[in-house]
Structure 1
Amino acid sequence: MESWICLLLFVGLPKTVMFTYKAMKAALSKDYVTLNPTYIYFYNGLNTVVLICLPAILFELISNEVDNIRSILISNSLVCSDEVLLLEIQRTLDYMRFRPMKYSICRMFPLNASLPLKFVSLCVTYIIVCAQFTSLV
């Protein structure tokens, strides 16, 4: 899965920039014959963005669920009277503290909720650069 996400990031960035640039160019042109491919370009760019952002969003949801489990364990440890159960709860909390819920893609990009925003901001930056170097209309 890690190599799949990494491949999507490296291939998806130029693909998304290209499709968004072509959609902008077709939308700003006066020729209405070229408006039909605009939807195709927009759909392909959106498809790539969703494929890149979905694992980060799902991982963030799982991380929030782990935090909820941790808070439930802490509240149960305060009211627990059984020594064996209390020991197991403490062992689980120690494990969760020493092994936090973190994942990185190829040890370069942390997989969290900020990854989609970083990807979109990088795409917008390159689209602005492409628009400045070429004339859209």
Structure 2
Amino acid sequence: MINETERIKLILAKELLKCPADDLKDTAIRDKIEDAARTIELCPFELTIFGLFGLNMSLPLYFINLCTATITWFILQFGNIINLTIRCIITEITWKLMKVLRVSFEDKILKQNEQKPNDIEETINIYNKIFNTFNIAGSYFKYYVLRDFLSAFVSVISATVGVSNDKAEQMHHFVTINAATNIIIACIPCTLMQALINEAEKIKVILAKELLKCQSNDESIAEQRIRDALIYIERHPAKLTVLHLFSLDMSLPLVFINLCTTYVIVTLQYTKIL
């Protein structure tokens, strides 16, 4: 059906070429041919889906390309998702353990009994075990978090370049979804790490409140244990740092967003110059 419309346009174009431009007799005919060609051009005999896809032979080709790209993307992302799941499980288990430790310590500390120094020492020992166990996988976490953020950064810049240069808008959806997925994969572990850090901070708050309750003129054993516990948690925070520059918490996604915003603006300006 669309081919027949194109043939009509071709016939009109041939007739237009037959009309001399300087012949006044054929001016009216030439104007009518141009009007007919313009009408067909403005009102093509073609159905579209949401103004995005035309119901012609390009739609099956677009569908095949989309399916191929989607399958390839799922194959590549499958390993990343499995890896992310393992890291999330480890982090969430550690977070749950820290939460249970904080709740039990809070219950014990509120009883105001003579076993308070022992309770504090026991809590710090358990905290130390959780901290050391989690640090065993620290290098593993650091490597993959940095890799995920680097991959997300590259995908964001690639999506920016692709969207700005793809005038046909054939790959807009794919590159956008790919960039968004990489960003989500990179940010999820930081969210769980922030929850773990918050539990450790709550333990510090409990200890600080108990320290304020102690009389300043009475250096008791409980007060000394509280001070030692605060110093220990302060020197051994429940967080991972990369080269002492970045902490694996919610501050890292914010730094990443600021960095991406800057480079996206620079990339858009550079592509306009080219």
TM over 0.5: yes
**Greater alpha carbon shift after TM alignment, 98-107 vs 49-58:** 98-107
Within 1, Cα distance between the matches of 2:262 and 2:213? 53
Within 2, Cα distance between the matches of 1:108 and 1:131? 29
**1:87 Cα deviation (Å)?**
5.9
1:100 aligns with 2:237: yes
Q: Which letter maps to 1:95?
A: Y
Residue 14 of structure 1 corresponds to: 154
Residue 271 of structure 2 corresponds to: 134
Q: Report matched runs for 1:33-72 at 5 Å.
A: 34=170, 37-72=171-206
Structure 1 stretches lacking a partner, 5+ long: none
**1:77 Cα deviation (Å)?**
5.3
Q: Which letter maps to 1:4?
A: Y
**Greater alpha carbon shift after TM alignment, 10-19 vs 103-112:** 103-112
What's the TM-score, normalizing by structure 2? 0.39
Within 1, Cα distance between the matches of 2:160 and 2:211? 53
The 1:131–1:60 alpha-carbon spacing in structure 2 relative to 1, beyond 3 Å, is same
Paired residues of 1:20 and 1:45 also in contact (CA < 8 A): no
Paired residues of 1:77 and 1:90 also in contact (CA < 8 A): yes
Within 1, Cα distance between the matches of 2:246 and 2:231? 26
Within 2, Cα distance between the matches of 1:58 and 1:20? 29
**1:129 Cα deviation (Å)?**
1.9
1:116 is matched with which residue: 253, 264, 270?
253
Paired residues of 1:103 and 1:110 also in contact (CA < 8 A): yes
Within 2, Cα distance between the matches of 1:61 and 1:25? 41
Within 1, Cα distance between the matches of 2:261 and 2:234? 38
Residue 5 of structure 1 corresponds to: 145
Aligned length: 129
Within 2, Cα distance between the matches of 1:90 and 1:108? 28
Compute the RMSD of aligned alpha carbons: 3.0
**CA deviation digits over 1:62-114, x for unaligned, max 9?**
2122111222233345668xx77666544433311332344212444232322
Within 1, Cα distance between the matches of 2:258 and 2:190? 16
Q: Which letter maps to 1:131?
A: L
**1:45 Cα deviation (Å)?**
0.4
Residue 125 of structure 1 corresponds to: 262
**Greater alpha carbon shift after TM alignment, 61-70 vs 90-99:** 90-99
SS in structure 2 of the partner of residue 134 of structure 1: helix
Identity over aligned pairs, percent: 25
Within 2, Cα distance between the matches of 1:78 and 1:128? 50
The 1:98–1:121 alpha-carbon spacing in structure 2 relative to 1, beyond 3 Å, is closer
**1:9 Cα deviation (Å)?**
2.9
